[in-house]
Structure 1
């Protein structure tokens, strides 16, 4: 069982057993839970538990910074970070929950479709931090209070400015098909990264699978995480990235590195990163305290200032080097559609790119 890879189809079976038939239940019509403020009683209860497990698809340095900042704010509570790609986290939680193992307290994923599965299974606990209720737009909050968007970013094109002149750089996805880029492109894989799964979904939807078939003929270097393409162009291993997190390039450019971000003329895939508390959390009070901390204005501003992520918190200021979301054409995905097509997308992509 430990080495088994779980697909969404496997999860349906496991969910039926572990959630006592809740897998195919209709979405809850119950009202969302009342907003919860952090109180001294909550903090004391969390300190008695003394620990929590945070499963995260954020980059390791980001997840660790969140953990260490929380520990400094609430001494006596230790955060164990379990970091991996979103699809790996999904498989791990499916295996644990399907085997009756309650190990995860809080999870965040770059694939919002995961929360549809976890909610349908009855694996998430309703919890609505005060900040979420007061300062986040309704479309970034589950109506039943099971999860909310902890941060966001865009998938973008990018290039190494030492290898590519600004006037020659690709400005669109269509430009990546120019023969001059053959053997010079890097991109990430939807089988590992939830962000790239969403990106692949919107590109296949808006540009068509024939576009991806043509891109594959460009002798593309294939990597795993959405954080990997920016690193490859920084090192000069490839001149251009076809996808990758925009925040990596913004941070590198801030450091004077020779990279540039391009928001394609066709639009940029918007990646939202939800977070939720698990119903079977072994440390429920610490889990709720961490969720409230995650969505606080202070933490949200840190994610923007230090890691160049985007926040939907009304009191958080955008990073100055970022092109405002309002000025960009955004390609948004329907998580339910991604959920329904996930296995097909990954299989078709692997066949086209030969990986």
Structure 2
């Protein structure tokens, strides 16, 4: 484990052990037992499904899940209303109830790691942001999963033991009342134009976006590293750095800013659908997408239900995500038009996260950092 990751994870673990608190004080009763985990394994479930697909596979999984007790425990960072919709439709279609633990991606990650250290098995399925899924995989808390449904997903959707369910696509977005059609940025270089001074918002933690754009400028556009650094300094000098995409999207809608450098496409789409004067198309390209995904928890107490929920969320559940303006991973629903979309390699980003976080924090001195 690198030092940067250790600093993130060690403190809550030490607090947990020092206080003697149970790792999942609010876990549903009966979860996490060693006995339940020994009765069946996801590996055995997947072996039994060998050669089955379509309705036959789904029906057999439902049978096995009902035999287990017809419940599944999901840890997720999906927005609560969307998570409730997913759980309700899944239960209606399969008869299997979903017990939820919903928190931020960091809290989900920490809870899984704490439970693993304590030898407690609370989760069946984990669905959260890509970097956290990758950390959980590297820490050995996910178990192998393969499915015919993975073939139906977009490029870059399978990473180790976790699989993409949705993508966050970073986009430059603008307020259409403040930026006339044809005057919006056409390239990333346009964000450095002095006309945007004081009118641009940047997210204070979008390190992976910064790294991806910087590498594009150097590797694809032929800039020297010094030229790319200078361009970003000029962009930062136009900007106010804010915490949270929801926050700066609300300020964009309200007209406090004309532009945001790296919002999520689904958030802008949802706001526009409600009548807000915001847009991101025609896009500044290339677009950079980060996968968020799902995985089977090691020692899942309900392995058949875990596989059932995972496969359902990679297939029928994708429609629920799309209805809620979440960008789905299923290739036939992943519509970005003719845009050049490039998927961020989460494992490579994490290996360099400490360096790029420091660089992004240093960049912020050229702009204004909003107080919380």
Same fold (TM over 0.5): yes
Aligned to 1:155: 170
Per-residue CA deviations over 1:79-104 (Å, capped at 9, x if unaligned) read 314131x4454344334434444333
Aligned to 1:201: 211
Rate the CA distance shift 1:219–1:187 in 2: closer, same or farther, 3 A. Answer: closer
Question: Aligned pair 1:171/2:186, yes or no?
Answer: yes
Aligned to 1:193: none
Q: What secondary structure, in the 3-state scheme, does the structure 2 residue paired with 1:238 have?
A: coil
Per-residue CA deviations over 1:34-82 (Å, capped at 9, x if unaligned) read 5773323223035x163413222x3343333222322333446133141
Q: Distance in 2 between matches of 1:215 and 1:92?
A: 37
Mapping 1:8-27, distance limit 5 Å: 8-10=5-7
1:261 positional shift: 0.9
CA contact (8 A) 2:72 2:98 kept: yes
Question: Aligned pair 1:272/2:291, yes or no?
Answer: yes
Q: Distance in 2 between matches of 1:35 and 1:223?
A: 48
TM-score, normalised to structure 2, is 0.72
Aligned to 2:74: 53
1:125 positional shift: 1.5
Aligned to 2:348: 337
Aligned to 1:310: 328
CA contact (8 A) 1:115 1:147 kept: yes
Q: What secondary structure, in the 3-state scheme, does the structure 1 residue paired with 2:81 have?
A: helix
Q: What secondary structure, in the 3-state scheme, does the structure 1 residue paired with 2:256 have?
A: coil
Q: Distance in 1 between matches of 2:269 and 2:155?
A: 28
- 1:128 is matched with which residue: 121, 146, 167? 146
Q: Distance in 1 between matches of 2:323 and 2:247?
A: 21
CA contact (8 A) 2:289 2:342 kept: yes
CA contact (8 A) 2:87 2:97 kept: no
Question: Aligned pair 1:244/2:263, yes or no?
Answer: yes
Aligned to 1:18: none
Q: Distance in 2 between matches of 1:309 and 1:335?
A: 17
- 1:83 is matched with which residue: 78, 89, 103? 103
In the alignment, structure 2 segments of 5+ residues that lack a partner are 14-45, 218-227
Rate the CA distance shift 1:93–1:218 in 2: closer, same or farther, 3 A. Answer: farther
In the alignment, structure 1 segments of 5+ residues that lack a partner are 1-5, 16-31, 191-195
1:244 positional shift: 0.8
Per-residue CA deviations over 1:203-234 (Å, capped at 9, x if unaligned) read 2322344433332222414122x444333211
Mapping 1:177-216, distance limit 5 Å: 177-190=192-205, 196-207=206-217, 208-216=228-236
Which structure has the bigger radius of gyration?
2
1:289 positional shift: 2.1
Question: Aligned pair 1:67/2:87, yes or no?
Answer: yes
CA contact (8 A) 1:276 1:291 kept: yes
Q: Distance in 1 between matches of 2:357 and 2:249?
A: 22
1:284 positional shift: 3.1
Name whichever structure is richer in strand by fraction. Answer: 2
CA contact (8 A) 1:125 1:279 kept: yes
1:13 positional shift: 8.4
Aligned to 1:141: 158
Q: Distance in 1 between matches of 2:302 and 2:293?
A: 20
Q: Distance in 2 between matches of 1:212 and 1:103?
A: 44
CA contact (8 A) 1:70 1:290 kept: yes
Q: Distance in 2 between matches of 1:11 and 1:45?
A: 39
Rate the CA distance shift 1:260–1:94 in 2: closer, same or farther, 3 A. Answer: same
Q: Distance in 2 between matches of 1:93 and 1:170?
A: 42
Aligned to 1:44: 66
Rate the CA distance shift 1:88–1:76 in 2: closer, same or farther, 3 A. Answer: closer
Rate the CA distance shift 1:175–1:99 in 2: closer, same or farther, 3 A. Answer: farther
Q: What secondary structure, in the 3-state scheme, does the structure 1 residue paired with 2:262 have?
A: coil
